[in-house]
Amino acid sequence: MDIGGGTTGIAVVKNRQVVYTVDEPTGGTHFSLVIAGAKNLTFEQAEEIKKDPKQQQSLFPLIRPVMEKVASIIQRHVEGHTIPTIYLVGGTSAYSGITKVIEEYTGINTVVPTSPLFVTPLGIAMYN
């Protein structure tokens, strides 16, 4: 699952082959918009505090509904597939608490790699 700025992209892989893909609008930009509105900040200010690990716990109650939206997107698109583990990538996946929310909704073990921000561009570079 690639939780990017504006979208959540899903790829289901079976036997090392992609068997299903979808991209839906909801991502980190939506986190920032919620923070900006709730805190009366500019979008740019909200982006900065969103990325600050020291601020993430206090902002969690504000953006949990957006995380739940991402989780519902994932849940809807993995139905009917046997998914042992969900791997989150993209900058938004680094937000503290998102794995717990997705696990609550899907019931599927969810992990984030050490450096989730660059997984997609690195994968594209390796493929070309």
Find the domain containing 17 and state its range.
2-127
What CATH number has the domain bearing residue 95? 3.30.420.40
Per the structure, the count of domains in the chain is 1
Note the pLDDT tens digit of each residue in 41-85: 999 999 999 999 999 999 999 999 999 999 999 999 999 999 999
Q: What's the length of the chain?
A: 128
H-assigned helices in the chain: 28-39, 43-51, 53-78, 98-106, 119-127
- Cα separation of 61 and 75, whole Å? 21
**Residue in 26, 7, 4, 8 with CA at minimum distance from that of residue 78:** 8
Strand 17-25 versus strand 7-14 pairing type: antiparallel
Contact 3, 31 (CB under 8 A): no
What pTM value is reported for the model? 0.89
Note the pLDDT tens digit of each residue in 17-49: 999 999 999 999 999 999 999 999 999 999 999
- Cα separation of 107 and 45, whole Å? 34
